[in-house]
């Protein structure tokens, strides 16, 4: 029976134990598994290569994103690294300009030393991608909406250009989760997640995943996880599965809080600009609504008065936590210029619109009015 998304959140991955009937799948910490004889494993051999708890999580994420296969890693960045390791020296990857700062750091400070090449391209018009395609280009990697400025990429349009040039099309779906956006519908060959964010959802797991249909990619990534070893522990697999059960509920609350808080900030005289897809002022709102069914809890705003105002604002918060990350039940504020985007030069940041007074909010699931009162107090001190 085909299941709707909220049902899938609870039941994906076939978690019931067929022997005991337990409704929650076991945390299986075993490192090794008895084999029946030489060349006769029972299914699992060594937990770096595969583990029963990880297998359940991988099944669950595959069902949520609508793919045949998923592989889980010890962080979102480890998942991306494994994907790039399927390429070879001198291969070339095209990214949307406003890719997550950690992906940029991975490419520019690590993988370029091994000969992997990349360009970060303004993808407002998908056809612009064609100008950057060379004989070595193998992959197009995008996020939508982007982090922290919530730019919206035309997922269908980019997918068509990627197909035309025979490129692997990868979408990082971390910001909306499959609850609100399913990139497979727009032609994505691979979906990336930082499980750390909405899927696990409680600020207590660092993990990542790749989902896809291609069996040969499954073989390559199966080899890579065994060869490079960036695995997610069985306990973290369990925590992520537990988080996924409430994904849809949480996303609805994150979205409701986002909508209320963005409207409050847009009216505030000390706020210069709000970057939120919930607002009619968002320049690509229509495109966003055509490809996503909800807004998630993450958006940004810019204070008048730059860095000095941002420092005062952050000091005035009490319910919101000033810290890295997003997507958990606790509301968080971060300062992209000095945190996620600190590996870019100031000039490069300003060129991309990441001004010194920019703050990113990850709206948690607390009461929206309490969150607004706290923001109001912090803004009074600016």
Q: Which helix (H) or strand (E) is 53 found in, with range?
A: helix 52-65
Residue closer to ligand PLP (CB basis): 50 or 176: 176
C-beta of 230 vs 289, nearer to ligand PLP: 230
Interface with ligand PLP (CB under 6 A): 75-77, 100, 102, 143, 147, 172, 174-175, 194, 196, 206, 208
* Smaller CB separation from ligand PLP, 51 or 173: 173
**Annotated active-site residue in 55, 59, 197, 273:** 197
197 has catalytic annotation = yes
Catalytic residue among 54, 55, 67, 100: 100
Identify the active-site residue in 6, 48, 220, 272: 48
CB of 329 vs ligand PLP, minimal distance in Å: 17
Question: Shortest approach of ligand PLP to residue 377 CB, angstroms?
Answer: 27
Asked about 100 being catalytic, the answer comes back as yes
Strand partners, 301: 274, 359
Q: Which residues is 302 bridged to in the sheet?
A: 273, 358
Least gap, CB of 195 to ligand PLP (angstroms): 7
Nearer to ligand PLP, 175 or 382 (CB): 175
Residue 179 contacts by C-beta under 8 Å, 6 or more apart in sequence?
5, 9, 198, 247, 248, 251, 293, 294
CA angle 87-208-247, nearest 5°?
140
As a 3-state breakdown, the chain gives helix, strand, coil percent values, each rounded to 5, of 40, 15, 45
Q: List the catalytic residue out of 154, 172, 189, 356.
A: 172
Could you tell me the two tokens for 17?
């134990």
Q: How far is the CB of 277 from ligand PLP (least distance, A)?
A: 15
Tell me whether residue 309 or residue 334 sits nearer to ligand PLP (CB atom). Answer: 334
Measured from the CB atom, the residue of 171 and 365 that comes closer to ligand PLP is 171
Give the residue from 225, 235, 236 showing the smallest Cα distance to 50: 225
What are the tokens at 52? 């029963």
The minimum distance between CB 79 and ligand PLP, in angstroms, equals 8
Question: Is there a contact between 332 and 148 (Cβ–Cβ < 8 Å)?
Answer: no
**Residue nearest to ligand PLP according to CB distances in the complex:** 76
Nearer to ligand PLP, 75 or 211 (CB): 75
DSSP 200-228: T-SS----EEEEE--HHHHHHHHHHHHHH
Residue 34 annotated as catalytic: no
Residues facing residue 72 across a β-bridge: 209
Pairwise CA distance, residues 284 & 323, whole Å = 28
Q: Are 256 and 50 in contact (CB under 8 A)?
A: no
Query: Is residue 213 annotated as a catalytic residue, yes or no?
Result: no
User: Cβ of 226: how many Cβ atoms within 10 Å?
Assistant: 14
What's the order of all strands across the beta sheet hosting 298-303?
Answer: 271-275, 298-303, 358-362, 332-334, 321-322
Tokens of 203: 């600020």
**Residues noted as catalytic:** 48, 100, 172, 197
């Amino acid at each position: 029976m085909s299941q709707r998304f909220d049902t899938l959140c609870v039941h994906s991955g076939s978690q019931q134990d067929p022997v005991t009937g337990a409704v929650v799948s076991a945390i299986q910490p075993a490192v090794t598994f008895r084999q029946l004889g030489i060349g006769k494993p029972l299914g699992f051999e060594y937990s770096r290569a595969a583990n029963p708890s990880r297998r359940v999580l991988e099944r669950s994420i595959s069902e949520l994103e609508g793919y045949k296969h998923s592989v889980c890693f010890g962080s979102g960045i480890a998942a991306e690294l494994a994907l790039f390791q399927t390429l070879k020296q001198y291969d070339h990857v095209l990214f949307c300009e406003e890719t997550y700062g950690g992906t940029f750091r991975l490419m520019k400070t690590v993988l370029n030393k091994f000969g992997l090449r990349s360009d970060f391209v303004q993808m407002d018009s998908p056809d612009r991608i064609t100008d950057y395609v060379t004989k070595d280009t193998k992959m197009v990697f995008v996020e939508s909406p982007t982090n922290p400025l919530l730019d919206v990429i035309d997922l269908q349009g980019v997918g068509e250009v990627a197909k035309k040039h025979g490129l692997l099309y990868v979408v990082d779906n971390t910001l909306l989760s499959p609850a609100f956006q399913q990139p497979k519908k727009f032609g994505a060959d691979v979906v990336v997640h930082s499980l750390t964010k909405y899927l696990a959802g409680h600020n207590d797991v660092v993990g990542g995943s790749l989902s896809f249909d291609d069996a040969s990619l499954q073989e390559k990534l199966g080899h890579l996880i065994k060869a490079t070893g960036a695995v997610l522990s069985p306990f973290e697999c369990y925590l992520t599965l537990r988080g996924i059960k409430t994904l849809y509920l949480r996303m609805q609350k994150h979205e409701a809080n986002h909508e209320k808080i963005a409207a409050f900030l847009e009216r505030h005289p000390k706020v210069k600009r709000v970057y939120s897809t919930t607002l009619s002022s968002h320049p690509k709102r229509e495109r966003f609504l055509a490809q996503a069914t909800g807004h998630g809890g993450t958006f940004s705003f810019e204070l008048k008065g730059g860095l000095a105002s941002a420092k005062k604002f952050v000091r005035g918060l009490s319910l919101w936590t000033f810290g890295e990350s997003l997507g958990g039940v606790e509301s968080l504020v971060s300062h992209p210029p000095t945190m996620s985007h600190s590996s870019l030069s100031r000039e490069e940041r300003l060129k991309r619109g990441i001004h010194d007074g920019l703050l990113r909010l990850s709206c948690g699931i607390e009461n929206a009015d309490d969150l607004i009162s706290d923001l109001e107090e912090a803004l009074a001190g600016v």
